[in-house]
Amino acid sequence: MELVFMRPEELRDAVSRNLPLLWPVGAMEYHGEHMPLGTDTLIAYGLCRRIAEKTEAVIGPPIPFTPTMNWASGIADGDVDFSADALYPYIRESMGHFLKMGFQRIYAIVGHQGSDGLPAVLLKHAFRDLLCEFTRPLGPGWSVLPEEKMPVSDVFSAVKVCDYDQFCDYSSIDRDEKMPVGHGGRGETQLIMMLYEGLVKMEALDRQPCPAPFWLDDVEQADKEDGGFWVDFCVNSWVAELERNRKDA
């Protein structure tokens, strides 16, 4: 289910059953001539859709603009270095309203710079500020208040800021590497190949300005089947976590 398509009664039902909200966070950023500008958003959103096909979850509206610092290229190539100062109020307002709707398990799946990058910092900062806003009116000693007085049942873990592979158990697979992601190279290219048929245009690499950036060194190794393995592994790990967490809720 996607929040923007849900009717009010569907929202109320999802909240009453404590369904998780998956929130894709990406960027508009240059990833090479062969890749879409929204690669980070598309991977996060694509994984959310796959997860929601296998377990009940609500997908929140993706965040498509975040700071890029123009690390890979500039605005002429579609790389949007969106201001952190402009983005923070939007993140805070969105997160706050998701919580006020009644969602108690919000997972921000960050496709740009991972769970320690600038977008993740803004998400964590927003949650910190909302925690203070929601709990300050409760007064001193609110730890002993009954659950119905609390803004959410588990106030300190209502929002989690996550990598794609946040819940992957690598000891369960026979691989010598973790899920490859990188920037525009093998990892992201094969994930887009798997999630969005026909969107990658490998022939466009012939028009890549020379010398090609180092982050494209392994792009020719991108393999749709290998991308499919990692998508399935990642999605199944998320499904297991959400269902386990639902039972504990």
Tokens 């000891």 locate to: 171
- Write down the pTM of the prediction: 0.95
Which class is domain 3-171+231-248? alpha beta
Reading the chain (249 residues) residue by residue, the pLDDT tens digits are 999 999 999 999 999 999 999 999 999 999 999 999 999 999 999 999 999 999 999 999 999 999 999 999 999 999 999 999 999 999 999 999 999 999 999 999 999 999 999 999 999 999 999 999 988 888 898 888 887 777 777 888 899 999 999 999 999 999 999 999 999 999 999 999 999 999 999 999 999 999 999 999 999 999 999 999 999 999 999 999 999 877 544
Domain ranges of the chain: 3-171+231-248
Two structure tokens written together for 17: 């059953």
Q: Is 162 helix (H, G, I), strand (E, B) or coil?
A: strand
Tokens 């969005």 locate to: 196
What phi and psi, each to the nearest 5 degrees, are found at residue 220? -70, -15
